[in-house]
Amino acid sequence: MITRHFKIPVTSPGAILRREMELETLLGKEVAEKTKHGELVSDKIIIELIEDYVRLHGAHGFVFDGFPRTIPQAEALQGILQRHRTPLDLAIWLDVSADTISDRISHRLQCQSCGFTTSEGSAGFSERAVCPYCDGPLVRRSDDDASVLQTRLSEFNGKTQPLGDFYEKLGALRKLDGNRDRDAVFADVSRLVEQAA
Residues of the chain under the 70 pLDDT cut:
1, 121-128
Rg of the chain over Cα atoms, rounded to whole angstroms, equals 17
3-state secondary structure 10-59: EECHHHHHHHHHHCCCHHHHHHHHHHHCCCCCCHHHHHHHHHHHHHHHHH
Domains annotated for the chain, with CATH where assigned, are: 2-196 (3.40.50.300)
Predicted confidence at residue 123, as pLDDT, reads 55
Q: Torsion-angle region of residue 111: left (phi > 0), alpha (psi -120 to 50) or beta? A: beta
Residue 166 CB partners (closer than 8 Å, separation 6+): 71, 74
pLDDT digits (tens, 9 = 90+) for 122-169: 655 556 678 888 888 888 887 787 778 888 888 888 889 999 999 999
Residue 23, number of CB atoms within 10 A of its CB:
9
